[in-house]
Structure formats: C-alpha cells, structure tokens
C-alpha cells in the first residue's frame, strides 16, 4: 500500500479514493494509536470534528464520527467551519483530537481528512505512519478491541464554535478596520460565514462574493485559485483591498486597490515588518519554503531580517517555527502561520492582520507590498508522470544542471513531486520572464521524457 498521508492529510476523490469505509477505519485507527501513545491516559477522550461545505463531507463526517464513537471517543461536531477554526477549538476545548474534512483548494469531487493532536497541532509524521499501519492491519482481518455499554463514545453538536472562533480572531487584532472597504471572496467554502462576520465586527465595510455554498460550487472559478472575480469586484466597488480564501480557509491571497495580486510572499513581508515594529517578530526571523520568490529573500535581507527556508508544505514551516521559537512563517500560496495566535495557516486571521496594517499605517496595500519586488517566476505542473522517481532520475539531474548553468546567479530551478496531487511541479525564476518560460518549458519536457 502506498502512503495514504500526503503533506496535508489524506486526500482523494470522495467515494472513489476516499470512501466511507476508509474514513471510518482511519478514525478508529487514529483513536487507537493516540490511546497507545498515552494521549488519552486517565480520562475519557474527546474529539472535535468539522468540515467544509462539500456534499461528500456529509457522509464522510458521518463515517468519521461513527468511527471515533465506536472507539470510545466522545465527539463534538462543530459543522462547517474553516480548518484553523477546528484547530483552534481543539485547543480551546481541551480536546484530545481534532478532525477536519476538506480538500482545501482542490475541486469539488475531492475531499480529505486532516487529524489534529491535542493543542490543535498537526500529527507528527511518525504518528501518521503508525495510523496507516494499524489501519492496514485491521483492514486485513485483525479485530478491533471495541468498547461496549457506557464505554462507547457520545456525539453532540457544538454550535458555539462559530462565535467562539470569531471572538478569538477579534481578540488578537491589533487595531480596528474602521474606514476600510474590503471585498472578501470566500470560495463558496468553509469561511463563508465566519470571515464576513469577523471583518464586519472589526469595523470594515464588507462586500462579499463567493459566499453561497451549495455543496457543489466550492472553489469553482473563485477563491484564492481564481482571483479574476475578486479583482473585478475590488475595482467595481472602489475597495481598498480584496481578500481571497480557499475552500477550507487556511490560505489567504489579496489584491490591492488596482486589482494587482498580493501573494503569500508579499503578505509575509508586510506582516514581518509590522511584527518587528510591534516587537513580536522573535529573532527578527521569518520562516518560508524553498518555493518563496527570490525577491522575498532579497527584501528580507535588505530589511535586516533573517529568512529560514524549509521543504514545501506548511507542516514543515510549522515544525521549524516550533523547534526554534519563531513567530511568523508561511508559503507563497498564502498559508501564513502566526504562531502566537494559530497552530496552522489561518486565512481569515491573515486577512485581518493585513487589513489592520493598512488601517494602522494609512498606506495603501500596493505601497506596503512594494517592500519586495517579485522576480519573474514560472510554475509548470507536469501530469501523468511517475513522481516517485524525481530524486533518482539521472536524465532529470542532467537537465536541471543544464538549466542552472543557463540561469547563472540570476535565477534558480526547483523540481518537486506534489504532496497532494499526482504531478511534478517545475519552478523556474529568472530576471527575465521569457528566459524563465523557456527554461521551464525545456525542464517540463525533460520531466515527461524521464518520468512518463
């Protein structure tokens, strides 16, 4: 069996790859593994379970809840809420386990399962590996040790989660947003209710698009992967800025008043300077991944800030932050972690903090984001190839060396298998966009040739 867990939980086409049986079995396995690890010792365990609005989340939620309760875990069902809200509530309610059902920015047919440990932190790789092992052992015949009678878990709806999460967001906001007009694109996703509520209660005049989820329209031509509607709405309404989330709202991208995109690197740069000014940027250091634009690194150096780079995936950013005590980290894709206030990327919190910086300085977002200049970057997704052989292909190594020689010191190349989709990502940065495109095209052809 290939590894079920990717960089962000278990993900696949709902009811094909990700079935009710798999969701139930993984939930039971997670309960047993955490019990073995001593997480439930001395008390009756509790889990928080939430989901995004996907239609498939309804049956998958039922399967997860059934699995946990059958393993003796009490379940608080919080309904449709963002991933960071489920992580926050897991910590705030003292729960032993959190489960979020979402495929984030993926198209509607997909879904996924993320597990959170006590405190709202993502499970360590070794725990995920153990869950897979235990699941497979019992899937092939070993019986579960099942509680009976009063030992089975109880299930309750926890309706206070919405207001509890919004109140948390407002508590950590450094200043109000009065006077700002902001367009929010909620991707017809999990933040369709909480994000507009938070921005309005913070004092902003809010225009909302993409906030009528029907279970089938999540991420459909809107949200952080499709900024066209947000750009048009910002210009139409004369807004100061626009904020876009993905389906589970752990991401935030923005556009300025002209409709120009402000990506995760630029957001990190703006927040880094704000936090340094407030004295909360510990070690004057920001953590980002190797996918961050070279312009971000140059901007941080110019501002006297240190940059630590990790592998791709917000879990690796978070691991580095926790290990070294850093306060801010994130990804170009818009996963931004402010560790003093969240245990995972939080798109609503990020958007609020970005807007708060605009309000506090009186400077337009375009000017604030100008702290860094994005070097031209081309990203090509190469599908239908064997991504497991990226690191071992001699043909690819030769192609990468040739590309790096062509770029010299003015650019860089990165090849990596996707952690959530069956493809290889080719990223090329160069001082000139045409050169970046040409090099990326040659590398994409090399990937197809070597791995196809």
What is the per-residue pLDDT across 229-276, written as a single tens digit (0 to 9) for each?
999 999 999 999 999 999 999 999 999 999 999 999 999 999 999 999
pLDDT greater than 60 at residue 2: no
What ranges make up the beta strands (E) of 52-177? 74-80, 97-101, 110-117, 155-157
Same domain, 363 and 410: no
**Residue 248, annotated as binding a ligand:** yes
Pairwise CA distance, residues 394 & 320, whole Å: 31
pLDDT greater than 60 at residue 9: yes
User: What is the domain-level CATH number for residue 399?
Assistant: 3.30.310.50
Same domain, 211 and 291: yes
Mean pLDDT, rounded, of the chain: 94
Picking from 132, 159, 186, the residue at the C-terminal end of a domain is 159
Picking from 135, 159, 183, the residue at the C-terminal end of a domain is 159
Classify 89 as helix, strand or coil.
helix
Specify the number of domains making up the chain.
3
96-131 pLDDT, tens per residue?
A: 999 999 999 999 999 999 999 999 998 888 999 999
178-235 pLDDT, tens per residue?
A: 999 999 999 999 999 999 999 999 999 999 999 999 999 999 999 999 999 999 999 9
104 is catalytic: yes
**Residue 125, annotated as binding a ligand:** no
Same domain, 91 and 222: no
**Residue 250, annotated as binding a ligand:** yes
Q: CB of 254 within 8 A of CB of 241?
A: yes
State the residue for tokens 């897979």: 132
Picking from 334, 369, 404, the residue at the C-terminal end of a domain is 369
Pairwise CA distance, residues 21 & 392, whole Å: 35
Same domain, 237 and 170: yes
Same domain, 88 and 176: no
Going across the sheet that includes 377-383, the strands are: 377-383, 423-429, 412-417
Question: DSSP code of 213?
Answer: -
CA separation (Å) from 300 to 284, 296, 378?
A: 10, 6, 22
Same domain, 293 and 363: yes
Predicted confidence band of residue 8 (pLDDT cuts 50, 70, 90): confident
pLDDT greater than 80 at residue 145: yes
35 is in which domain, residue-wise?
A: 5-159
Pairwise CA distance, residues 355 & 358, whole Å: 5
**Selected catalytic residue, list 27, 56, 102, 104:** 104
Q: CB of 47 within 8 A of CB of 68?
A: yes
pTM of the model: 0.89
Confidence (pLDDT) at 1: 43
Confidence (pLDDT) at 116: 96
Confidence (pLDDT) at 386: 85
Q: CB of 154 within 8 A of CB of 69?
A: yes
What does the pLDDT average to over 412-436? 86
Confidence (pLDDT) at 143: 84
DSSP 119-153: TSPBPPHHHHHHHHHHHHHHHTTPPP----GGGS-
Report which listed range, 213-222, 292-301, 373-382, 393-402, is most confident.
213-222
Confidence (pLDDT) at 294: 85
User: What is the domain-level CATH number for residue 135?
Assistant: 3.40.120.10
The residue ranking higher by pLDDT, 314 or 16, is: 16
What does the pLDDT average to over 264-291? 97
Pairwise CA distance, residues 315 & 292, whole Å: 15
Q: What percent of the chain has pLDDT over 70?
A: 99
Same domain, 168 and 234: yes
Q: CB of 346 within 8 A of CB of 250?
A: yes
**Residue 384, annotated as binding a ligand:** no
64-81 pLDDT, tens per residue?
A: 999 999 999 999 999 999
Same domain, 103 and 79: yes
Same domain, 181 and 274: yes
Same domain, 154 and 45: yes
Confidence (pLDDT) at 306: 97
Q: How far apart are the first and last CA of the chain?
A: 22
Confidence (pLDDT) at 205: 98
pLDDT greater than 80 at residue 19: yes
Q: What percent of the chain has pLDDT over 90?
A: 80
Instruction: Pick the range with the lowest mean pLDDT from 273-287, 290-304, 349-363.
Output: 290-304
Same domain, 351 and 411: no
Q: Which of 177, 228, 178, 186 minimizes the C-alpha distance to 207?
A: 186
Same domain, 227 and 342: yes
The residue ranking higher by pLDDT, 409 or 46, is: 46
Q: CB of 288 within 8 A of CB of 317?
A: yes
Q: Which residues contact 165 (CB under 8 A, 6 or more apart)?
A: 81, 82, 85, 88, 89, 194
Pairwise CA distance, residues 299 & 413, whole Å: 20
């Amino acid at each position: 069996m290939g590894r079920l867990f990717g960089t962000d939980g278990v993900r696949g086409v709902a009811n094909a790859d990700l079935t009710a049986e798999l969701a139930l079995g993984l939930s039971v396995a997670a309960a047993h593994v955490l019990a073995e690890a001593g997480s439930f010792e001395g008390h009756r365990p509790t889990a928080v379970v939430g989901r995004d609005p996907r239609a498939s989340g309804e049956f998958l939620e039922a399967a997860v809840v059934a699995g946990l309760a059958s393993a003796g875990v009490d379940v608080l069902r919080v309904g449709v809420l963002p991933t960071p809200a489920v992580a926050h509530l897991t910590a705030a309610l003292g729960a032993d386990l959190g489960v979020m059902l979402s495929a984030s920015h993926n198209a509607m047919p997909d879904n996924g399962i993320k597990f959170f440990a006590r405190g709202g932190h993502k499970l360590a790789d070794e725990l995920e590996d153990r869950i897979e092992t235990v699941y497979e052992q019992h899937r092939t015949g070993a019986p579960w040790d099942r509680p009976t009678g009063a030992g089975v878990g109880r299930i309750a709806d926890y309706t206070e989660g919405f207001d509890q999460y919004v109140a948390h967001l407002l508590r950590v906001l450094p200043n109000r947003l009065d006077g700002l007009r902001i367009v929010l694109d909620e991707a017809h996703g999990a933040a369709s209710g909480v994000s507009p509520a938070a921005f309005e209660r913070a004092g902003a005049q809010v225009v909302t698009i993409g906030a009528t989820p029907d279970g089938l329209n999540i991420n459909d031509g809107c949200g952080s992967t499709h900024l066209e509607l947000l750009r048009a709405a910002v210009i139409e309404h004369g807004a100061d800025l626009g904020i876009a989330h993905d389906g589970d709202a752990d991401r935030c991208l923005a556009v300025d008043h002209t409709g120009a995109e402000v990506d995760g690197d630029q957001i990190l740069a703006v927040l880094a300077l704000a936090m340094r000014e407030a004295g909360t940027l510990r070690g004057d250091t920001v953590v980002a991944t190797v996918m961050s634009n070279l312009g971000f690194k140059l901007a941080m150096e110019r501002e006297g800030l240190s940059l630590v780079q990790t592998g791709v995936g917000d879990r690796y950013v978070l691991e580095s932050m926790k290990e070294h005590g850093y306060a801010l980290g994130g990804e170009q894709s818009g996963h931004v972690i402010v560790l003093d206030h969240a245990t995972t990327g939080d798109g609503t919190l990020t958007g609020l903090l970005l807007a708060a910086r605009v309000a506090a300085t009186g400077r337009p977002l375009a000017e604030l984001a100008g702290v860094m200049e994005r070097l031209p970057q081309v990203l090509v997704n190469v599908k239908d190839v064997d991504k497991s052989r990226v690191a071992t292909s001699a043909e690819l190594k030769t192609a990468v060396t040739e590309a790096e020689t062509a770029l010299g010191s003015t650019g860089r190349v990165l090849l990596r298998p996707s952690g959530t989709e069956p493809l290889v990502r080719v990223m090329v940065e160069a001082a000139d966009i045409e050169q970046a495109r040409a090099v990326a095209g040659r590398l994409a052809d090399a990937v197809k040739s070597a791995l196809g």
